[in-house]
Amino acid sequence: MVAPSDASTRRRWWREPVLHVALLGASLFALDAWRRRPRGDAREVVVPASYVRALRDELTRHNGRAPTRAELQGEVEGFVREEVLYREAVALGLDRGDAIVRRRLVQKMEFLVEDIAAPEAPTDEALDAYLRAHAARYAEPARVSFRHAFFDRGRRGARLDADAQAALEALRGGGAPTGDPFALGEAFVDADLDRVAHDFDEGFARALTEVPADDAWRGPVTSRYGAHLVAVSARSPETLPPLARVRERVAADLATDQRAEANRAAWRRVAASYRVRVEGL
């Protein structure tokens, strides 16, 4: 007896993608059983009882009720129809030279060779080591607290630098900050330095890292908008957060990397059994 090929599951993949994904896991074991059985009459199609059971269970979960005999029979008939058409197409060689079929088969083979077993729960030591090895990925940005007085380039024109310098002298003499309205405000507390660079520009943010954090007025510092007098009151460097704060994110990233390495190892095992010769390169 000959059971249906993998291609017969494609009908459900197209019509019910969510259901098919759920069904795939349950069906792999059933389908694996007939893959290993001796092949007999190529004109006979056998729908394994294990597949029918898996199909019934998944339809029950998907619809919230057991399928009727007619519903189940309809699914099985579709299964058989596609199996027969698939075999006839292969017999005619229609699968050869088709890039779409080739890619689909490659994808299915990739799925089969990948190590899809869930990795073991990592220890705190492993998570902490991963966190430190990828510090740039998790680092919390540098922060700065500052005030500024803004002088609009469009409004001030050629007087921009002179007006800013005069205002700085007045501030140093005990005067109040003067300048033009700024849409984002005049005071920033514990601001993300990356956000400051986005809102003003990179040069302005870099200048804030070089100004002493003593709340004294300095400048002018330029941005894309014009000139600013700035008074920096506090600054903190980029820091690596404690593991407890980013544990879930680190664990997810570590699992992803472990899965990717397992898949690469599986590919190397498969590729090792082939000899590759490239001509004309």
From CA 191, how far away is CA 51, in angstroms rounded? 59
Q: What is the pLDDT of residue 15?
A: 43
The domains of the chain, with CATH numbers, are 6-113 (no CATH), 141-236 (3.10.50.40)
From CA 237, how far away is CA 5, in angstroms rounded? 60
User: At 37, is the pLDDT very low, low, confident or very high (cuts 50, 70, 90)?
Assistant: very low
Q: What is the pLDDT of residue 3?
A: 52
Q: What is the pLDDT of residue 196?
A: 93
pLDDT tens readout for residues 126-182: 999 999 999 989 998 899 999 999 999 988 898 998 999 999 988 888 878 788 999
Q: What is the pLDDT of residue 8?
A: 44
Q: What is the pLDDT of residue 267?
A: 80
CB 225 within 8 A of CB 150: yes
Per-residue pLDDT, averaged over 34-42, amounts to: 49
Which of 2, 62, 1, 57 has its CA nearest to residue 27?
57
pLDDT tens readout for residues 182-234: 999 999 999 999 899 999 999 999 999 999 999 999 989 999 999 999 999 99
Q: What backbone torsions phi and psi does residue 143 show, to the nearest 5 degrees?
A: -130, 155
User: At 280, is the pLDDT very low, low, confident or very high (cuts 50, 70, 90)?
Assistant: low
Please say if the pLDDT value at position 58 is more than 60. yes
pLDDT tens readout for residues 63-112: 999 999 999 888 888 888 888 888 888 888 888 888 888 888 888 877 77
CB 247 within 8 A of CB 127: yes
Q: What is the pLDDT of residue 281?
A: 63
Q: What is the pLDDT of residue 108?
A: 82
Please say if the pLDDT value at position 31 is more than 90. no
Q: Mention every residue, 6+ apart, whose C-beta is less than 8 A from residue 43.
A: 2
CB 190 within 8 A of CB 234: yes
Global pTM reads 0.50
From CA 25, how far away is CA 55, in angstroms rounded? 11
